[in-house]
Amino acid sequence: MSILGNIIWLLFGGIFIFFEYLIAGFVMCLTIIGIPFGIQIFKLSLMALWPFGKKIETTPTSNGCLNTLMNIIWLLIGGIWIALSHVIVGLVLAITIIGIPFATQHFKLAGLALTPFGKRVV
């Protein structure tokens, strides 16, 4: 079921989300200061490419002050807008029964987009 969901996800916009995140990640990696944020965007891009069957876990060292500081900076730079866009699309998809599985994937991406530091995709 997850393979079919991923294929449908790719056909109906997942590939575009993947490329948007990929381009944003490369742009962020152009500067030394942006490299940690670019790596987090690459994490989002891989999750956006094939979301069904993946889980987001908190790493054991996620309670450090560096992860907290980076998450705050991430929120101020634009993480809140990325998360809000996933929530809005998820709410629109949740209107129909067919869209509910895709809405849950957008909500999962919103949670990762809100605070990506200290989390990993399994």
Among the listed ranges 5-9, 40-44, 59-63, which one has the minimum average pLDDT value?
59-63
Number of compact structural domains in the chain: 1
Confidence tier at 65 by pLDDT (50, 70, 90): confident
Q: Phi/psi zone of residue 53: left (φ > 0), alpha (ψ -120 to 50 degrees), beta?
A: left
User: Which single residue is written with the structure tokens 């957008």?
Assistant: 106
| Per-residue three-class SS string for 31-76 | CCCCHHHHHHHHHHHHHHHCCCCCCEEECCCCCCHHHHHHHHHHHH
* pLDDT of 95 over the 90 cut: yes
Q: Which helix (H) or strand (E) holds 119?
A: strand 119-121
Read off the pTM. 0.87
Confidence tier at 1 by pLDDT (50, 70, 90): confident
Q: What is the pLDDT of residues 68-86, one digit of tens each?
A: 898 899 898 888 988 999 9
Q: Which helix (H) or strand (E) holds 120?
A: strand 119-121
| pLDDT recorded at residue 14 | 87
Domain that holds residue 60: 2-121
| pLDDT recorded at residue 62 | 66
Strand, helix or coil for residue 121? strand
